[in-house]
Amino acid sequence: MSDPGQTRSHIRMRAVIEGRVQGVGFRAFVIQKAQDLEVHGWVRNRWDGSVEVLAEGERATLERLLGDLRQGPRSAFVTDVNVEWEPATGEFYAFSVRSTA
């Protein structure tokens, strides 16, 4: 049974952000933007120095989040954002920080 709050228009975005994105408040920036946009999922640092974001919501809303990821907070310097689109699973009910992977 699917979550009644999730519609068929929901999709999943997985993004890996590269550049100077760790130690500059990037995860806190992502959490704030995701909460503002009311999308669900998580953000985490990766051992290679990048940041990974997995978010679910409406495509247009995720495109807005993607624009924010490409910009980053003032202290960050984003050099690349790799994005994959997948079907949403509806498994998330909030947006959180995950452990480094």
Is-catalytic flag, 27? yes
Question: Quick check: is 45 catalytic?
Answer: yes
Active-site residue (options: 12, 14, 27, 44) = 27
Cβ-based neighbours of 21, under 8 Å, separated by 6 or more: 49, 50, 51, 72, 76, 77, 78
User: Residue 52, Cβ neighbours under 10 Å: how many?
Assistant: 18
Q: DSSP labels for 22-73?
A: SSSSHHHHHHHHHHHHT-EEEEEE-TTS-EEEEEEEEHHHHHHHHHHHHH--
Task: Say which of 12, 20, 45, 46 is annotated catalytic.
Answer: 45
User: Which positions are catalytic?
Assistant: 27, 45
